[in-house]
A and B are shown apart, each in its own frame.
Chain A
Amino acid sequence: MFSPEINHSNNPLIQVINLNKSYSLQDANGKTITTQVLFNINLTINQGEFVAIMGHSGSGKSTLMNILGCLDIPTNGSYWLAGKNVATLSSNALAKIRNQHIGFVFQGFNLLKRMTALDNVATPLLYAGISRAQSRKRALELLRRTGLENFAMHQPNQLSGGQQQRVAISRALINQPPLILADEPTGNLDSQTSNEIMLLFQQLNREQGITIVLVTHEDDIAAYAGRLIRLKDGRIIVDKNNTN
């Protein structure tokens, strides 16, 4: 069950209180069926933490991550991000948070097709109001740091899975957000590439103090994190420091 004894610094970046999420679907007879996916989630994540979320398929990991990433809204309960109640924010304010404060990394990469790696990485800056020339300069710099400078002009379909994921991570990092949310970022990658990606996350966490929340099915991936949360059927059953 949820372990309230774990105490973090008194500076929570993420605070989730009694959060529930359910979906309503119509069945064949047109009757509405409600399925609850998350039950009474309470969760506090502090600045600088590296958290791994694990759990069986369908246990609600992605659902929780989408809510944390302001891509979805809870059915009830509240979510405080950096001291702000997300429920009170306008859609423009949420867009700004996604742009400035959160970098999302997906299992399927979600790069924009037919656009170069460079442009993909630069796009969030465009929405931040930064000039195109400046955006591309910064994107190129970031690609250099993630070891992709030779692939800057490649389109996603001209890159390997690992390269695509590194482009996606570069895109998540471009606005220097304090929080990276990664939903199975290594799910489509082989173990060596996965380890390279994880080392990159670890480095970002240790050297730049970026808070990272990551979903994975694999124990050795979760081992990179400092804290482990386990979900089962929409409930947190384990929340502990990673002793590896």
Chain B
Amino acid sequence: MNLLAIFGEALRALRQNRLRTGLTMLGMIIGVAAVVLMLSIGQGARTKINETIAAMGSNLFIVVPGATSSGGFSFGSGSVRTLTINDAYTIAELPSIKTTAPVVTGTAQLSYAAKNWSTIVTGTTANYFDVSNWKMEAGTTFTESDVRSAARVVVLGSVTAKNLLGDEDPIGKTIRITNRPFLVVGVLMAKGQSLTGRDQDDTVVIPITTSERQITGNQFPGSIRYMLVQGTSATEMDIAEIEIIQLLRQRHRIAKGKENDFTVRNLTAVADVATDAAKVMSIVLGAIASVSLLVGGIGIMNIMLVSVTERTREIGIRMAIGANQRAILTQFLLEAMMICIMGGLIGLLLGIGGAWLVSQFADMLIVITLGMVALAFLFASAVGIFFGFYPARKAASLKPVDALRYE
């Protein structure tokens, strides 16, 4: 007996029992496809969050006016105006602080040619782009001297640029913000959604001085909506936080025992929370995937067990006409392997196809790694091959007469 002949025999057996072969493969297909799909969604979510965090800038604090509220921090508390531009400049002098970027915001009407667009105007200093790790798609940022002279220059977010100017090159064009002409000096790189789900690219950025004097106006001159603070090193963030708090309490003349009238948030800590959430999500999806794999595995096991047991008689006949144990075992092993490999490959294609569909229709990032593919494939194959092989081995170790008499 040679291996090739047995291989042919196995292939023939699979072809002759299309239904059985198909059903067995189905378990394999579903198990592998489900795992690949689940894991790729989980992995995609993690990657997405990591990208968002990386885009946020490093060693960042955000300081907002108002006392710490129990529900976390929000930018909505417009009535409290306790932080000033000068607070920001003074904090920047601290040894543990690299730089600060004070920010005022407001909504304004933009226009270019016949187009109108209402969006958020961010007024800030020139180092804002660096602190928030925001790269330029085209043109340049505005400069410190633009800030000092309250120049009418603007940097557009990518979505705003698209909406206002369409396919035109925005650099050097003049747009109007609440009817005042502004020169477009740059366009920001797309950043996507923030961790809170806001589209960060629909905005325009102008010098803080220009914003305060000419666009949003200010009931409380010098007050700001928030400031970004960048520490000098990741290891000194705790010291930096204490120094910021001390300095601000001193500047705001807050008596001992009184509450702060501002809140300092370490954005790295916020990012950690988001990362943890993503991790939990991947674990949940991974658990679902494991269950699918287990169910798929049990399906494979059942059909393999039933079909091989049913074939005990066939094994008896083959032994009666001269097959030795090895020939029979080789045939069943090959059959199980072929089913697992084919089913696994189909499952893989379906899983990848499903992941692609999800990424298209749900606008989610999907990441497929070799590891998850290997995991799904190997586990399902191991189950399929074991349960295809083990009952066959049992049958082949029977006396031929017992296998033949098997009902």
Pick the residue among B16, B321, B399, B404 that contacts A123 (CB under 8 A): B321
| B residues in contact with A66, CB < 8 Å | 401
Q: A72 touching B399 by the CB < 8 A rule?
A: yes
| Residues of B contacting A: mostly | helix
Q: A96 touching B17 by the CB < 8 A rule?
A: no
One of B49-57, B158-166, B249-257, B312-320 at the interface? B312-320
Given contacts A71-B401, A124-B322, contact A129 B16 (CB under 8 A): no
Q: B401 touching A96 by the CB < 8 A rule?
A: no
Q: A100 touching B320 by the CB < 8 A rule?
A: no
Given contacts A71-B399, A71-B404, A72-B401, contact A127 B2 (CB under 8 A): no
Q: Given contact pairs A72-B400, A92-B326, enumerate 8 new A-B contacts (beta carbons under 8 Å).
A: A69-B320, A71-B401, A98-B400, A115-B16, A126-B5, A127-B318, A127-B321, A131-B5
One of A37-45, A106-114, A138-146 at the interface? A106-114
B324 at the interface (CB under 8 A from A): yes
Using CB atoms and an 8 Å cutoff, list the residues of chain B in contact with chain A: 1-2, 5-6, 8-9, 12, 16-17, 314, 316-327, 399-401, 404
Q: A98 touching B320 by the CB < 8 A rule?
A: yes
Measured CB to CB, the nearest residue on chain B to A103 is B321
A128 at the interface (CB under 8 A from B): yes
Q: A92 touching B5 by the CB < 8 A rule?
A: no
Using CB atoms and an 8 Å cutoff, list the residues of chain A in contact with chain B: 66, 69-73, 91-92, 95-96, 98-100, 104, 106, 110-115, 119, 123-124, 126-129, 131-132, 171, 175
Measured CB to CB, the nearest residue on chain B to A90 is B324
| B residues in contact with A131, CB < 8 Å | 5
| A residues in contact with B320, CB < 8 Å | 69, 71, 98, 104, 110
- Docked Cα-Cα span, A112 to B325, in Å, equals 18
Q: B322 touching A96 by the CB < 8 A rule?
A: yes
CB distance from A129 to the nearest CB of B (A): 5
- Docked Cα-Cα span, A128 to B322, in Å, equals 8
- Docked Cα-Cα span, A72 to B314, in Å, equals 17
CB distance from A169 to the nearest CB of B (A): 13
Q: B324 touching A92 by the CB < 8 A rule?
A: yes
| B residues in contact with A126, CB < 8 Å | 1, 5-6, 9
